[in-house]
Amino acid sequence: MSDILPAKPGDRVFRPQRSKHFHLKRVLGVSGLFSAAYGNVGSSIYYGLGVVAMSALGMTPPVLMISGVLFLFTALTYAEGTTALPEAGGSGAFAFRAFNHWVSFIASWVLMLDYIVTMSISAFSAANYLAYFYPVIGKWPANSLGGIVVVVVLAFVNIRGVQASTRLNIVLVLVDLFTQVSIVVLGVLMIINLPTLIHNIHWGVAPTMNQLLFGISISMIAYTGIETVSNLGSEARSPEKSIPRAVLLVFVAVIVLYAFLSMTALSAYPVYQNANGQWVTDLTQKFLQDPIMGIANVMPAAIRPALSFWVAFLAVTILIIATNAGMLGASRLAYSMGRRQQLPAAISRISPRSRVPLNAIFIFSIIASGLIATGRITLLADLYAFGAVLAYTTAHASIIALRIKEPNLPRPFKIPLNIHIKNREIPITAVIGGLATFITWFIVVYTHPIGRIVGFSWLAIGLLIYYLSRRKKSRTPTPGWQVERDKQKEL
């Protein structure tokens, strides 16, 4: 006999609802995709210009152009991969489908390093620009402490499950883009000097071949946040059209602005030989950690105070948003790796209260704070380059492998410019991009000793965690895509 009493007249009866599967709404058009992507990629100019110029010297503009082309090729790869496999994880998710658990883990783990470095370098740079208002923050260890405070505050915000306003982010990105365009216009009219730019280059001397290779490899820091293009694929309207258009717009905006901003900076701060016989530029001697402030500092006296104030305020705001984006990326990736049993559940578990990977946010924020404490922006750039180009290489290889293994996989967006090999379409941009990023990774390993040591140590620690985690698993889960594929085969 049932223990449930019949409802009385007038009582409210609660009936169980059928579970529903919720999906991300496809609400982002070209403008929304562009704003989100540029918000991450465009923020890197506030620190990337100084880091690249320190090595590339007068070759900084062409070096940024070369890395810009690689940015375009890689963005196209992520666009195809994400529209075909709309799930979090980026290159790790592509490799999981194209190869195996081990390759997927390595791609995801180095990508995790990039997210952590994005948090570190963005927060540290925000503190350096904040020094315009509070000069004491501009020196170590105060700037490191300021960066750590930014990370800690954002960690608590994310742990509570509070999300930043998307509309506010878009507005700030548009204002930032307008500001950078304004600086470019002023630079073209008042500062850029072609004879100076030509005289800045001393072939084989300034930069030397090693410095040039170092500069090319480190220039990947200038395109921090490239995976944003792919992470938003499942929220795009008509992704086969909106994603490539947004990618093209971001590419054009970034490469044009980086070209003219670097030419403005190197015109204002020419390359010269100091008393020790070293070739340097005052851009990196005085404004290594806040290069855009260096450009504002050489503007006409009538607008210099207002422009410097605005650049400092906007840089702090955009860099804090970039720090938060890195934290969100790291936590989302940790959750994705946990679902593939590549991280222990204790790290990737979702908090039932805040619905975020609380432990992941806590752990990776501590690591990011430790990197900030070093006070070395060059070390952070080395680490980013180490992880980024390896993750990009894996992404290119995965897309090529999927073209061969699963030619009939639905691809809402397909990379153009293909060659046919044994009835398979192979994207030329993925081949060139993969080879270029793989060679660049070797350059990073060869020319960045500290980055090499820390980078391989990070890989070793990750592989140990992965091995111990996998030993505890009694079976390997069948991913959702494989279940669907097996069902289709049975039918």
Quote the distance between the C-alpha of residue 185 and its chain's center. 27
Predicted confidence (pLDDT) at residue 299 exceeds the cutoff of 80: yes
Predicted confidence (pLDDT) at residue 76 exceeds the cutoff of 80: yes
Q: How confident is the model at residue 384 (pLDDT cuts 50, 70, 90)?
A: confident
Q: How confident is the model at residue 26 (pLDDT cuts 50, 70, 90)?
A: low
Predicted confidence (pLDDT) at residue 21 exceeds the cutoff of 50: no
Quote the pTM value: 0.80
Q: Which pLDDT score is estimated for 233? A: 57
Which tokens sit at 102?
A: 């081990």
Which tokens sit at 283?
A: 């851009």
**What number is the average pLDDT over the span 329-356?**
75
Q: Which pLDDT score is estimated for 403? A: 93
pLDDT mean across residues, the chain: 80
Predicted confidence (pLDDT) at residue 17 exceeds the cutoff of 80: no
Q: Which pLDDT score is estimated for 154? A: 86
In the block, tokens 């350059």 appear at 443
96 vs 115: CA distance, rounded Å: 19
Predicted confidence (pLDDT) at residue 475 exceeds the cutoff of 60: no
Q: What is the pLDDT of residues 139-179, one digit of tens each?
A: 888 999 999 999 998 888 777 654 444 555 667 777 888 88
**What number is the average pLDDT over the span 9-18?**
43
Q: What is the pLDDT of residues 111-136, one digit of tens each?
A: 888 889 888 988 999 999 998 888 88
Q: Which pLDDT score is estimated for 185? A: 92
- For β-strands 418-421 and 424-427, DSSP reports them as antiparallel
Q: Return the higher-pLDDT residue of 41 and 256.
A: 256
Mapping DSSP onto H, E and C, the string for the chain reads: CCCCCCCCCCCCCCCCCCCCCCCCCCCECHHHHHHHHHHHHHHHHHHHHHHHHHHHHHHHHHHHHHHHHHHHHHHHHHHHHHHHCCCCCCHHHHHHHHCCHHHHHHHHHHHHHHHHHHHHHHHHHHHHHHCCCCHHHHCCCHHHHHHHHHHHHHHHHHHCCCCCCHHHHHHHHHHHHHHHHHHHHHHHHHCCCHHHHHHCCECCCECCHHHHHHHHHHHHHHHCCCCHHHHCHHHECCHHHHHHHHHHHHHHHHHHHHHHHHHHHHHHCCEEECCCCCEEEHHHHHHCCCHHHHHHCCCCCCCHHHHHHHHHHHHHHHHHHHHHHHHHHHHHHHHHHHHCCCCCHHHHCCCCCCCCCHHHHHHHHHHHHHHHHCCCHHHHHHHHHHHHHHHHHHHHHHHHHHHHHCCCCCCCCCCCCEEEECCEEEEHHHHHHHHHHHHHHHHHHHHCHHHHHHHHHHHHHHHHHHHHHHHCCCCCCCCHHHHHHHHHHHC
Predicted confidence (pLDDT) at residue 75 exceeds the cutoff of 80: yes
Q: Which pLDDT score is estimated for 149? A: 93
457 vs 96: CA distance, rounded Å: 23
Domain residue spans of the chain: 30-474
Q: What is the pLDDT of residues 407-451, one digit of tens each?
A: 888 888 888 889 988 888 999 999 999 999 899 888 888 887 887
Q: How confident is the model at residue 337 (pLDDT cuts 50, 70, 90)?
A: confident
| Closest residue by Cα to residue 382 from 454, 321, 329 | 454
Q: What is the pLDDT of residues 194-219, one digit of tens each?
A: 999 999 988 888 888 888 888 888 88
Q: Return the higher-pLDDT residue of 401 and 68.
A: 401
Predicted confidence (pLDDT) at residue 387 exceeds the cutoff of 60: yes
Predicted confidence (pLDDT) at residue 94 exceeds the cutoff of 50: yes
Quote the distance between the C-alpha of residue 256 and its chain's center. 19
Q: Which pLDDT score is estimated for 13? A: 42
Q: Does domain 30-474 have CATH number 1.10.3720.10?
A: no
Predicted confidence (pLDDT) at residue 193 exceeds the cutoff of 80: yes
Q: Which pLDDT score is estimated for 24? A: 44
